[in-house]
Every structure is written in C-alpha cells, then in structure tokens.
Structure 1
Amino acid sequence: MNNLRPRNLLVQTMLLMTLALLPLGAVAIFQTNRVATEAENSAQLALLAVTGRAAKTEELLIERAFGVAQFFGSIAGDFVDDPDACTEHLGSFIENDDTYSFIGILPISGLMTCSSTGQDYDFSSFPNFKPIMDAQKRSIEVNRNAALTGKSVFIVSEPFELDGAFAGFISISIPHDGLPNVSDQIEALGLQELVTFNADGEILTARSDIDTAALQLPASMPLDTLSTTQTRAFKAKNTAGEARRYTVVPIEGSPATVMGIWRVDTGLGNHIAAFIQPALFPVLMWVASMSVAMLSIYTLVLRHMVQLRKAMDNFAKNRRMSEPEKPMTMPIEFQSLNDNFEAMAQNIMQDEAKLEDSLREKNVLIKEVHHRVKNNLQLISSIMNMQIREAESEETKTVLARLQDRIISLATIHRDLYQSQNAGRVNSGALVTDIVEKTLELATSGNDVVDVTTNIELVLLFPDQAVPLSLLMAEGMTNAMKYISSSENNKPWLKVSLVQADDTCTVSIENSVGASVTSESTGLGAQLITAFGIQLGGKIDVEKDDDRYAMTVHFKIAEFTPETPDF
C-alpha cells in the first residue's frame, strides 16, 4: 500500500488540503443544491404562471364554447321536433358571433337535422362516432379540413339530455384562423410555441401553424402521456433535437391541456441556468484554497528545498560545493539545515581526500611488495638455473628444474597481482593458460606432437586460492607430461579445462597413457597436489585406466577474508 501513496510533496499537500476542505465543500454543495432547487422551483412556477396567462385566450374560448353548448343543450328539446326553428336560431347566433363557424345538434342516431347551415348530415358512418357516443362525455377534436366549412377547426362537443336520458351532443366548430397570436411581451420571455391538446394527444390549437408546432413537441414524451389534471414542467429535446423547456397547464372543466414551449437560451428559460452558477462556488473555493496553500508552501518550503536539493545533487555528482543563494526570507530552520549540510559536505570532502591518499599509498606499497617478491623469485630462479648448469647428476638437475618451475609459477602470480585491476583478484584462467603453454614448450621437442584440447574460462580468484591453484596446475601438468604416451597407433593427447558454475570452480587435467610406460616416481608431486587441493578447500578425483589418466578438482570460490590480527 505504501507504494501507492504519492511521494510528491505538492500532491500530498493538495490531498490533505482537499481532505480538510471536504466538510466545507459538502456544506457548500448542500447549500448550493438547495438554492438551485429552490431557484428551479421558482422558475418553474414563474413559467407555469406565464403559460397560464398566455393561454388565457384559449382557456376562455374553450370555456365559452362549452358554455354556449350547455345553453343550447338545455333548449335542445325545443329544437329537435322543429328543425326550421333550430336552423333559424343557430344560424342567427353564428351570424352575430364570428368566433364560431358551425353549431349543430347531433342525436344518438347520427343524423343531424338541426344545424346552423340548415342542411342534414349523417355522421353515423364516421369512424369515431360510436366511441364518442359510448363515452357520453364532453370532448374536443380537430378537423384540418371541415366538410361543412372547408376550414381547419377544432370541434367542442357537449352532451345533452332529454327527459333525463342521454340524447346526443351539441357540436360547435371554432376556426383556427380566429385564434390570437402570442404577444410580443410574452415572446420576449422566451416562449417558442403555445399549443393545446386533448386527452388523445391530438393538437387542438397552436399559435403558429399546427404542423410547425408539431416539430416543437418533446420527442421522448407523447402528448397523450402528458394530459393530466396537474401542472408540471420539464426539460427535453424537441423532434428537431433542440433543447426546450416545457410547461403543462390543464384547462379546468375541459378535456384540453395547454403546453408552453420555451427556449432555454433566452428569457425565463435562460434565467434558470443563472442559478446553476452558485454550484461553482465549492470548486472556486477549492481552487482558491489550493492556490493559497501551494503559494505558501512554495514560498516558505519548496523553494528552499529545491535550492538545497540542487546543492546536494551537485555535491553528490561532482563533489563540488556551489554557492547557494541565501535570501533574507529563508526560514531559520532551512538556514540551519543549509549550514549543517555545508559543514557536513566539507567534512566528507576532507575525509575522502584522506582516504584517497591512504588508498593510493597502500596501492603503491602493495604493488611494490609484489614487484619486489616477483624480482626476488626471479633472482632465485636465476640462481637455481646456474646450479642446474653446474650440477653433474641428472637426478639433481631434475629436482632443481622441478623446483625452478614452482618458483616461476609463484613469480607469475605476483606479476599478475602487480598488474591486477580487479580489486586484488587474479585472472586464474590466464595463469592456467601460461602454465599449460610453458609446460608443453619445455616438455616437448620439435618432433613431438601432442594433441592438446583446452577449455579455460576467465575465473577471478583472490591470491589465497590463485597461488595453490597455479601450483596444483603446475604439478599436474608436470605429471601429465611425464607419463603422457600414445596408445596403439594414436598420437598422445592432452585435455585441460577450467570452468566456473556460480560459485563452484572445476579444473581437470586428462592425458593419454601408453601400456608400456614406466617411470620412477618419488611421490612428491602427488603429495604436493594433495596439499594444494587442501589449501583450495576442494575435492580431488583421480581416474586411471589402461590408456587414460584424469585428475579433477572441485572447489568453492572463496571471498576475501581478512586475517585475524594477533594481539
């Protein structure tokens, strides 16, 4: 979990400040939401009130039409049996009031003989005739092309009774072209369209053309689902995909409902968006708080920390002390920290200088020691070479030559230590290669041919193992070349390997042995090989048969262990 935590100081501070401001932000959001809700409710009430006021003409027109229908329904019994009197009175009413284009009495039979035109009409075959008669309720319908007048009208139907029983409807047609337009004052408030519709979702009236008004209706809510006895307001997109705010106001006492369609970018619809601005207060408060906090942290802390970090980085990379600026505004804590760093850096540079001098002196001394040891061993080898030339006994020469080889091996190791750049470790692979080459050069003449196969890797060992390994290889190669011989018609062969696997090293010498080989041995070589194997901390395995001799040594590569002082 700790790896998931941000490590940047600015980020951590912002998170902590955000956590500290969370309660205030929650209160601000709660208050803002409450203000926005109240503002939304107020705006909706305002829009509903304006919608009701704007639709007052339609409301009065429909209410008056139903009132006229109720009046003629109350005297319909006098007209049913006297069609001429009915036509005279209804026609006279239409002539005196141009609001209506037709009035007629539609009986249950569907045969209208009493109307303002004086003609007979048969409505019994109309598709909606039977449902209307079965409902026996007042209704409002639209006829875009009335057969009687040829105009676009909406028809108000009021049921009437004769002798206490349902007898039919009083139908009144009102032309659409007589409806008023929306006033400029209401349009300035953002009213796009004002329509009325019935319970079936059919548009009855519109301030503009009905087809144009249909484009402004909500795309996701059919009108028949909106006809209700309660006012409501909502926001949706019209059929053209434009955002609109809708207000629905039922007309009391009639099956008609008024819908106001408002633009959301102007007028009262846009005023609601103004109430959303307080919702930005919590965000602005957080931004302002973060800005003050970040400015304070940068001015008082981060600026000085960055300056001190640059000085530390410069010292760590270049071991140089830059001259940091020390403004008067630096807090005393950072001033003290900067002074402590400068003092510590000075002490570190002084200590490192002393260590470098001491290390340089030790390296010079160590190399000088190895150089002198190598020279002394070479001097001893030269003295022994003089003794070999003066010796008369072959046995003496052989013993001195074997001893000289061991001394040369030691001198070679000290030469490599003198030239080593691997923290005092020796490339044992190179030593083994030199020993193999020199042994072959000394042990074979120009006409002797030995098939040599080597697999020698680079193995770095400290002198405590490099010296006994070299001496062991020298003794092993001497023994191998002493007893090497061909088998049958094959030429002599020799295989030498030095490989490393993790911290384990394996060295092996394998040579051919002839069946007729005989040689005297003192056993000193085998004793030395065993002793050197013990010094290596390894295990020696020897395999011997009629035509092959193999010696394998396995040992662990040891780390440097300083010698315990003897006080």
Structure 2
Amino acid sequence: MKFLATSTLGFRLGSTLVLALLPLGVLSVVQTQVTREQFHQSTLEGIGGASLAAVQPQIDLIRASQTTAKVLAQSLSPGIPEDAECMARMRAVAEGIPEASLVAYIPMSGRMTCASTGEPFDFSGNAAFERMMARPEPMLVFNPRGPVSGGAVIGAVHPVVDGSGRQTGVVSVSIPNQAVTPSPYTADYVEWEPGVIVAFTADGTELARSDEARDALALLPPGMGLDGAARLAGRPAFVEGADGSERIVSVVNVAEDLFLLAIWEQGEASSWAASAMAPYLLPALTWAAALIAAALASGRLVVRHVRALSRAMMAYSEARARVAIPDIAEAPTEIQKLHAVYEKLIRDLEQDEAELQNLLVDRERLLREVHHRSGNSLQIIASVMRMYRREAGDPALRGVLDGLIYRVIALSSTHTSLYGLDGRRDVPMDEVLGGVVRRLKEIHGIAIGSARYRLDPIRLTPEAAVPLALAVAEAVGCLFAARAGMDRGIEVALTEEGQDIRLSIEGPAVPEFLADTTTGMAALPKRMLARFAAQLRGRVSTRTDGARSVVELVFPRGGI
C-alpha cells in the first residue's frame, strides 16, 4: 500500500512542486495581504471623497443661505417696510437663491405676512419658532416637515435687531433638505453604489431618506444607530450588517448638527472581481506557470496517456465509436482511475440518453396539458365575467366588461389552438389567427363571409404567437364591435416581407383608431396594440382612410 501511494502522479509532482514553490508562495501571500490592506484604505478614501463631492453643493447652498439671511437681517434693522414692499424684497432675495422654498421675515408675534411666497402663516405655537425666539442668535433649524413647504427643510435663521438693540423678529431662508446621492465609485473592477442615503441630526433624528422602502438601521451593524453613526463623520469604514453583507458606511458633516449618512453596497460586479480571492490572482498565475513547466517536463510520463484517453473520448463523442487505449496498464494510477470512470460514464450516458428521450416526450405532453388547462381556465373566467355583465346595470360598465370578455376569450382561443398543435415549437399562424377571428365572429354575431383572409403559411414560436394573436383579437374585436360599416367586411392579412412579418387589418372606421383618440377608454386598444408590438420588438401604426380603419403591425421574424 505504501508503494502504491508513492507511485501516484500527485505524489511524484506534488512533492517536487511544494518544495520548490513554498518560499515563493509564502512571500506572495504576505505581499497580497499588504496589498489588500492598501486597497481597502484607498477604497475608503475614494468613498469619502465621493460622498463629500456629492454633498458639497448642498454645503455651499447652506452657507449661501446663512450669508443671505445675515445680509437681509441687517437690511431690515433700520425698519420693516410695508407688506407689499417687504414681500417684493423677499421675492428679489428668493430669485437670487432659486433653490430656496421660502424667504421670509417673521415678527416676534409669529404672524408671518412678509414672505417670498406671498402667503401669510402663523408660526405662534410652532416648536421650531419657539427655539428661534429662545436663542436670539444665528442658527440652523432642521425640520423633517416644514410647516409651509410640507417637505424636509433646512432653515438659515438670523435675528433682526432695531437701532435700540431690541429684537423685532427673525429672517428665515429655507432650502429643501434632500438626501443627495453620490455617484457610484469603482475601485479595481469592484463598483460600490450608494444603497441608502439618510440626512440626520446629531441626536439621531432622521430628516430625509433617499429610499423610503429600505430601513437604514437594518443595514448598519447591530447596536449602531444614527446617533452612533455621527461619530464616524469624516472616517468611512467597512461594516457588516445584520444580514452578514459587507458594506461601507460614510458620514459627512454637512453643517453644524447636520450629517449625511451614505451606506455603500457592492454593485453588479463579477463574482470573481468582488470576491476576496481577486488579489491573489498574481500568485495563482505564478503557480500556474510552474505547473505548466512541470507538465512539459513530465512528457512521456503523463501526456501520452492523456492524449490516448482524449482521442478515445473524441471518437466516442463524434461517432459513438469505442476505441481501445494502448498501454493503459502502464499509466499512473490517477489516469487508470480516470479511464475506468470514463468507461462507466459511457455506460451511464447511454442510459441517461434513453431516459432523457422519455422525459422529452413527457415534457411535450405536459406542455399541451398546460395549454389545455389554461384555455379552460380562461373560459371559466370569461363565463364568470359574463355573469357579472348580465347583472350590471351601468351601460359603461357593461361596455368595459364586454371588452374584457372578448380579450379573455381571444386568449383562451389562442391557448386552445396551441393545445391542438401537439406541442410543436413552430406554430402555423394561419391556423391560429383564423381560429381567433372565427371565434370573435361567433362572439359578436357577425355574419359568415364578413371576414376575408390572406394569411401566408408562416410559422412562429409560441412566445411570438401569443402576443400576435392577442393583437389580432384586439383590432378585430374593435372592428366587429362597430357593427356599422360591416357591409364591406374586414380584411386580415399576414405576409412575410424579407426578414419582417407584416400583419394588416382593415375594416370600418372606428373611434379607437382615429388619430386624435389619445385619452380615455377609447385609447386603450391603441395602447394595448403598442404593448403587443413591443413584445414582438416591432412597431404598430393605425390610420383612417375615408370610411375604413387600417391597423398595421410589422415585426422581425427573430423578434422573440
């Protein structure tokens, strides 16, 4: 047994390669670990820079609002002008800051009558206004829901003091508080995207969030809240969320007591680039080069037996020919085992092919059953809708139900037609479309001979047959529902023009296909036809020539 173990190919090559490559491997691992740490540090610095660059415009806007509030308060210090002149001054200031939602002077009473919006508002009793009055000094006020704008706002407040030093009120310049979204950051083939952006105050009060559907706290490490995140301002860090995913948390101090939290997540990068093994690519290539050298040196020991086994495999795969491998008894133990596995695989493959053929037959049978059951289910749905239609007293509601019933029956007819095609992948559209039109004639009570066909024997996949049949049902159903003008009947044509297929339907003029029908229930057929055309990667057009409406749908044969 000891002799057999030392005679294996793994022992012969592995012992030599381990001794030769062990020092190089240790050195490569250490160097790679250092490189990973440097890479992580540079990623954090880049994330911090991207977050700061994204929020810099808002920082500049806050500073501009503070400066504006200060200058405006000083201009009002000699005296408060009349309401009309005061509002004009506020509007002029607001024009200088287009982003401002409100520029206003609020007297000590809280009754605001001088505002850029021109609308009065009573701030008396408002908590934010009480804080302004309690501290007669410049400040920033954060409100998740501004009383005037209704949205999250940042208010740059400055007191107005008259010549005697008595405060007469405050000037407030309010700007929207939005959770700005930094641009994605790419670091060595790994893209980081900001998942959730949260604006909050130092006490942990959330002011705005970029995605209301996501809970930012659930993405942070357990036990970390927004107040704890404020301590990370200016120091991005890797964190592990409650779900075990690695993320980067970046906090930027936007203004005094205002922070912006960005939780970065890895984007749709390749699994290799995003994995922890990516930095070890260079050592792996080094080891691969050494293995190639060893393979070339092995020569007669290994290669000739592998080539003989490869020729036997190719002969079987191309012509199902069983080829004997010479000198297989002299091959290393691993190759002999591989040959034995190969022989077993051939036997298993032949057995699996027989079972697969049976599965394909069962699959076609099940597919036909699906179409059959789908058609029956849709017929039941149509019957239930008819019951509701008979009980409905509103003509408009009955009209809507009629349209829905026709569409459901058309879809049922399509599935029934596919059921009768014995599971073929190529569907004869002349049969399917002819059956759909005949079914619609029965539903609408249209006389025999009212529809003329010119359907080329075109075959499509079931994926393309369903939207095409529904498009025919939609257009023909609208024409049949018109009743008037049916003396000339309708014409349905399906032709092949090069690589394109054209469906043309002509009938009496109906409101649904007029050019100016763009809204309301009458516009639904055109929108549905556009959806069906989009599924086929084609285009649809409708026009009215005199007393006739024409619908044309053109799509490429390989559209689906």
The interval holding the TM-score normalised by the smaller chain is: 0.3 to 0.5
Question: What TM-score do the two structures reach when normalised by structure 2?
Answer: 0.39
TM-score of the aligned structures, taking structure 1 as reference length = 0.39
